[in-house]
């Protein structure tokens, strides 16, 4: 592996998977006599990057669902548990984005795409708990969290202007630095 590829692996795993998959596909076209399954190797490398995206998207959905619960549910408990889950998921996303900073450019789109899914999910949940009164379901349907609200330190009740997270302030690291 070239020095620049090894360095890219350390600083942006998803971009590395994309470049390596492309390189494997290009090598396959050259007709080398190495007994490798070039296309499937490339596909497997690609899938590693897609897996990182899916994980970030799933964690974003969990955060949005818990923010909706905090914002709209009349339940008094388990509010602390919802807040702990949000904090833990945000931390995990920061670690994923430290490993693959190129995914940061996709998080706003992920938040926007996951909002309707999370709203549908929580609307179903409030029905299960007999909380589906018009005030609650109407409030849920009207929500639209920003990327900063989802990924920063903001919680419902904090006001509309969330503080930037350490990741947004540029306090991230590399894969090697975190060991």
83 or 165, which is more confident: 83
The reported pLDDT for the residue numbered 109 is: 98
The reported pLDDT for the residue numbered 179 is: 39
Rounded CA gap, 127 and 77, in Å? 17
170 or 116, which is more confident: 116
Angle formed at CA 165 by CA 117 and CA 154, multiple of 5 degrees: 55
154 pLDDT more than 90:
yes
pLDDT band at 1 (very low <50, low <70, confident <90, very high): low
Q: Tell me the mean pLDDT in the region 86-91.
A: 98
Alpha helices in the chain (DSSP H): 3-11, 13-29, 38-72, 79-99, 104-128, 134-142, 147-151, 175-178
Q: Tell me the mean pLDDT in the region 38-63.
A: 92
173 pLDDT more than 70:
no
Q: Tell me the mean pLDDT in the region 142-153.
A: 96
pLDDT band at 161 (very low <50, low <70, confident <90, very high): very low
56 pLDDT more than 80:
yes
67 pLDDT more than 50:
yes
Structure tokens at 62: 């969990």
The reported pLDDT for the residue numbered 131 is: 81
Quick one: 129 exposed, middle or buried, by C-beta within 10 A (0-12, 13-18, 19+)? exposed
């Amino acid at each position: 592996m070239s020095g620049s590829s090894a360095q890219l692996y350390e600083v942006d795993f998803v971009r590395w998977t994309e470049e390596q998959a492309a390189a494997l596909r290009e090598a396959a076209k050259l007709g080398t006599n190495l007994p490798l399954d070039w296309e499937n190797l490339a596909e497997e490398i690609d899938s590693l990057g897609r897996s990182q995206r899916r994980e970030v998207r799933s964690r974003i959905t969990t955060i949005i669902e818990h923010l909706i619960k905090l914002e709209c549910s009349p339940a008094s408990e388990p509010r602390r548990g919802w807040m702990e889950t949000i904090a833990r998921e945000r931390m995990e996303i920061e670690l994923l984005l430290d490993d693959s900073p190129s995914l940061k450019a996709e998080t706003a789109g992920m938040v926007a795409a996951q909002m309707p899914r999370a709203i549908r999910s929580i609307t179903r949940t409030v029905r299960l708990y007999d909380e589906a009164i018009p005030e609650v379901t109407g409030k849920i349907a009207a929500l639209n969290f920003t990327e900063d609200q989802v990924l920063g330190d903001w919680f419902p009740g904090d006001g509309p202007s969330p503080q930037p997270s350490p990741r947004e302030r540029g306090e991230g690291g590399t894969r090697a630095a975190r060991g």
